[in-house]
Structure 1
């Protein structure tokens, strides 16, 4: 499994990278949304983890740009990873094209549950 984590905070990236190593997943990192979008062009990912608040382009704008693509990468599973606890944040993220939302600090159980759910759904879509 290859995961792209778009997150401006190096410590958050390190924590998630260490979690993913436990299950043998590979993680690529982007410090901002613009870099993340370029990386999607150049590589294949199974899941994208996207922070919302970053310098420059925010995560929701990046998600909308991914969803607007005209290739298979438009359907990449995207999990928003945010510290924002506003009551409507989940609904807002899902409306903009995210597949799921998890809160920081990221818990391993929460991360793997969200990723597992999306991977199962993706496999079901392929089988249909």
Structure 2
């Protein structure tokens, strides 16, 4: 399984990569939302993980760009990974097109539960895993 993590913090990327390694998943890293959007254009992913607060383009805007694509990549499952605890955060993320929201510090069971639920849902709909 190929996963893209759009996150500006190197340590957060490392922690999630170590978790995904345990599951045998391959993780591609993007330090900015702009770079993440470029990578999505170049590769297929089973899931995209995206932080909300990054320099330049934020995660909500990145999600909106992904969902606005004119190809099948617009439907890639997206999980927001954030430390933001604003009361309406989950609703804003889902309205932008995210499939799920998990909070930092990332717990392996929460990450795998969210990924598993999304992949099971997509498999039931006939989706493909990259």
What band does the TM-score fall into relative to the shorter chain? Answer: over 0.9
- 1:40-119 matched pairs, under 5 angstroms: 40-119=40-119
Which TM-score applies when normalising by structure 1? 0.98
Aligned residues: 127
Which TM-score applies when normalising by structure 2? 0.96
Corresponding residue for 1:124? 124
Structure 1 unpaired stretches of 5+: none
Structure 2 unpaired stretches of 5+: none
RMSD of aligned Cα (Å):
0.8
> Runs in 1 of length 4+ with deviation above 6 angstroms?
none
How far apart are the structure 1 equivalents of 2:126 and 2:42? 23
Once the two structures are TM-superposed, the CA of residue 58 in structure 1 deviates from its matched residue by 0.3
- SS of the counterpart of 1:126? coil
